Amino acid sequence: MSSTTMTLDDCRALDREDPLRNLRDQFTLPEGVIYLDGNSLGVLPKSAPARIAEVVTKEWGEGLIRSWNTASWFDLPQRLGDKVARLIGAAPGEVVCTDSTSINLYKVLFAALSQVAQSGSNRKVVVSERSNFPTDLYIAESLCRERGFTLKLIEAADLAASLTDEVAVLMLTHVNYRTGAMHDMKAVTTAAHAAGALTVWDLAHSAGAVPVALNECDADFAVGCSYKYLNGGPGAPAFVWVHTRHAGQFEQPLSGWWGHAAPFEFTPHYRPAPGVSRYLCGTQPIVSLAGLECGLDTVLAAEAFNNGFGSMAALRTKSLALTDAFITLVEARCPDRFALVTPRDHAQRGSQVSLAMADAAEADANAAYAIVQALIARGVIGDFRAGDAQMPHILRFGFTPLYLGFEDVWHSVEHIVQVLETEEWKRPEFNRKNAVT
Amino acid sequence: MSSTTMTLDDCRALDREDPLRNLRDQFTLPEGVIYLDGNSLGVLPKSAPARIAEVVTKEWGEGLIRSWNTASWFDLPQRLGDKVARLIGAAPGEVVCTDSTSINLYKVLFAALSQVAQSGSNRKVVVSERSNFPTDLYIAESLCRERGFTLKLIEAADLAASLTDEVAVLMLTHVNYRTGAMHDMKAVTTAAHAAGALTVWDLAHSAGAVPVALNECDADFAVGCSYKYLNGGPGAPAFVWVHTRHAGQFEQPLSGWWGHAAPFEFTPHYRPAPGVSRYLCGTQPIVSLAGLECGLDTVLAAEAFNNGFGSMAALRTKSLALTDAFITLVEARCPDRFALVTPRDHAQRGSQVSLAMADAAEADANAAYAIVQALIARGVIGDFRAGDAQMPHILRFGFTPLYLGFEDVWHSVEHIVQVLETEEWKRPEFNRKNAVT
């Protein structure tokens, strides 16, 4: 259909034809909200309250210390890791759920730098993108300084040229948190390896959002977040994957007892567990891990629709259709008001759409910020990310195919149209100068 | 009363006179269980299921991303840290609740070693106890190797002699997890400082168990666990304290965005937050943190009984009375069967009692292990910790004055007597050779 003729009825028809439409029933969605921020915090699986209550009252309250064995608390990082593995093209036993993304990045980047140093290489540069999520850069900055490496920040366009013979590690986030632009993991990994560099991938905006094939891409290390598209709950533990050719070979420095080969022998010297289990450190928050399992199961429920194309294929098809519809409707109904920041090319797009103000006079922080605030007041929850001299201020909208439909897209754009037409976004309460934070 | 005349009625009288007896009503205790393992995993506060359900269904389910501000999720590490501070002799703003004990130890030991290195000192030794909890030693082992230090493991008796002019850091656990022996924090810290060394204290078996006065003792760094005597729930986040003279001065290497001075400016370079907040790294598990707050409140409820002697005084008085009663009854009713591993001297005792088998023929692993298993089968839950050439196998019993009474002590010993008299511990199902783990 052409952009001028896409109507609410068209969107309803797309929803009726959507094979994944019933997956939404897995979630509790608040009344009156269109939630376009699942890229920041995923929604509540209906199964989570009862499962978490069971862990609290039965496993903790009644089982007490016995539950480490009887409720298999000890195995949770590996058991949940095996579920994550199905979503990122990894094999059972290659992923553990533990700690935060930042901490896991520290572990794998440390291991990667150790491998480079131990190989006798003179490579002393870690390359990343200037627009990478800041915590990744902070961790790399500290680690590079400590280990005698240099962190070099580049623009995405300069990626190929940056892969010189000085580069030890290429550390990238697969899908950019601001723009939603996605790297070609296979091509980039192949280029990095050809240049003699290892790859570290952050899958924070990829896991559960786009197909990922870590083993097929021959990636080296990966970490990711569980509370965005994996619906694990606020601050649920992150995950870490290491290619089997590296997993058993290098020690990560957070050498706590959960990563020991025999933690309950209580021996005074560290002996790392085989494989990825050595990337565990201390005791994990069991109640939050229980919530994560409910979230993972909501995504894995989509496997039934995939016809052998990998666990994420059906979700990806719907995700692209949703973001296509949003782009089409915004451009048709708000002509010349927004510039599309997210790539139009499917191969380069994650599961979000980021917009900047098109008009130079409106491209200040306040217009983008205020429109997002006005939308939130109407129950359309996206978010604002401030820009700087090199990056525009953006309105960010995440599209989670598990619980969003085409009618949601239509209503979101309708609200944007109304916020603009009524100039409601110019109200003082939406002005960034009046923001409490 | 003399040991030969302590009866069940005596214990009941002590319970009636106990000013803290009603604090037990704060907890859900399983039927038919005497829980002597609160030193490993504390019991469930009655308030926790409802509070956790509220966080899950209202704050996560309805508030969604908005709850980071509206439900004050961002402030939880500091707000809960202020509650911990009241239990360990620290001031508001000096403690944050985050990550695991192992990871927090890495942060503070790294900061301590950085301080030594930056001072131009040639000190290159970190001293700890061979019988320290292994994960502390594993973390120190890795960090010392990485930073060019040597980890020297000593016996407690050799502590004073070990403080040579080569020692950079003395890293100790305040109360030993096996023996329950407690260091004199003030004397040891003073001696360490006199010898030119910094101190790092692990309070895993101290916080909520014994009075701790970090500032009064002039300690340098401390970490601790929240799921033991603080009843925070399985794997709840740990805590970290840094003396104000160090807190704003040294960077810890896990430099994630939560420790940034302005995390939501999303700037590409790291700028540490002032004070102890720089010891934060990544996003924290909010659901588990909510459980922790319920646990902290159960301990703080004892503040009302303290008559100005610090927040832990009343709990300490009862804890010593409970462990005294247990020792007295075991020695009176099981003469010559056990050797007391925990110090008899109050000043050196934590809130647990550890026993070894007295008879050489019974001092093998199986006797201690099997007696613990037989007691667990009877609902008296303690635990077994294996020994080695230098340390005996032990039966470990934790006494948590918040929810245990003197009658519990009496029944525990009665069960021990019966397990011994009936030789029930010799049954095959309690034999360590048949253990599943």
Write out pLDDT tens, residues B111-132: 999 999 999 999 999 999 999 9
Evaluate whether B59 touches B76 at the Cβ level (below 8 Å).
Answer: no
For residue A199, what is the enclosing H or E element?
Answer: strand A198-202
Shortest distance between the Cα of A12 and any Cα of chain B, in A, equals 25
| Crossing angle of the two packed helices B406-421 and B313-333, in degrees rounded to 10 | 30
Q: Are residues A135 and B287, on separate chains, in Cβ contact within 8 Å?
A: no
Question: What is residue B21's three-state secondary structure?
Answer: helix
Cα nearest neighbour of B178 on chain A = A266
Buried b (16+ CB within 10 A) or exposed e, A78-111: bebbbbbbbbbbbeebbbbbbbbbbbbbbbbbbb
Distances in whole angstroms, Cα of residue B305 to Cα of each of A163, A243, B90: 66, 56, 20
Give the pLDDT of chain A (437 residues) as one tens digit per residue: 444 579 999 999 999 999 999 999 999 999 999 999 999 999 999 999 999 999 999 999 999 999 999 999 999 999 999 999 999 999 999 999 999 999 999 999 999 999 999 999 999 999 999 999 999 999 999 999 999 999 999 999 999 999 999 999 999 999 999 999 999 999 999 999 999 999 999 999 999 999 999 999 999 999 999 999 999 999 999 999 999 999 988 789 999 999 999 998 888 899 999 999 999 999 999 999 999 999 999 999 998 888 655 679 999 999 999 999 999 999 999 999 999 999 999 999 999 999 999 987 777 768 999 999 999 999 999 999 998 888 899 999 999 999 999 999 999 999 999 999 999 999 999 998 877 54
Q: How far, in Å, CA of B69 to CA of B259, rounded?
A: 17
Give the closest of A61, A268, A285 to B288, CB-based: A285
* Predicted pLDDT of residue A1: 44
| Residues B143, A144: Cα–Cα separation, whole Å | 16
Give which of B217, B212, B211 is closest to B199, Cα–Cα: B217
**Minimum CA–CA partner of B285 in chain A:** A235
Closest listed residue to residue B82, CA positions, set B343, B311, B337, B404: B311
Question: Taking CB atoms and an 8 Å limit, are A234 and B291 in contact across chains?
Answer: no
Residue B82 and residue B96: Cα distance in Å, rounded? 7
Q: What ipTM is given for this predicted complex?
A: 0.96
Cβ <8 Å between A234 and B287: yes
Query: Which of B60, B99, B278, B376 should we substitute to test contact with A (largest number of A Cβ atoms within 10 Å)?
Result: B60
Token reading at A94: 């290659």
Contact A44 B60 (CB under 8 A): yes
Beta-ladder partners of A200: A171, A221
Buried b or exposed e, range A352-388, using 16+ CB within 10 angstroms: bbbbbbeeeebeeebbbbbbbbbbbebebbbbbbbbe
The DSSP letter of residue B311 is T
Structure tokens at B108: 């503070």
Report the alpha-carbon distance of residue A301 to residue A47 in Å, rounded: 13
Q: What is the CATH number of domain A3-44+312-434?
A: 3.90.1150.10
- Beta-carbon separation of A56 and B291 below 8 A: yes
What's the CATH class of domain B3-45+312-434? alpha beta
**What is the C-alpha to C-alpha distance for residues B128 and B239, in angstroms, rounded to an integer?**
20
Domain ranges of chain B: 3-45+312-434, 72-302
Which among B64, B265, B385 is the nearest to A35, CB-wise? Answer: B64
> Residue B28's closest chain A neighbor by CA?
A61
Distance CA A423, CA B428 (A): 80
Instruction: Say whether B381 and A66 touch across the interface (CB within 8 A).
Output: yes
B118 Cβ partners below 8 Å, 6+ apart? B250
Phi, psi of A99 (to 5 degrees): 55, -160
User: What residues of A are in contact with residue B270 (Cβ under 8 Å)?
Assistant: 137-138, 141-142
| Residue of A173, A283, A400 to mutate when probing chain B, most B C-beta within 10 A | A283
Contact indicator for A226, A238 with CB cutoff of 8 Å:
yes
Note the CATH architecture for domain A72-302: 3-Layer(aba) Sandwich (3.40)
Round to whole Å and give the CA distance between A353 and A427: 25
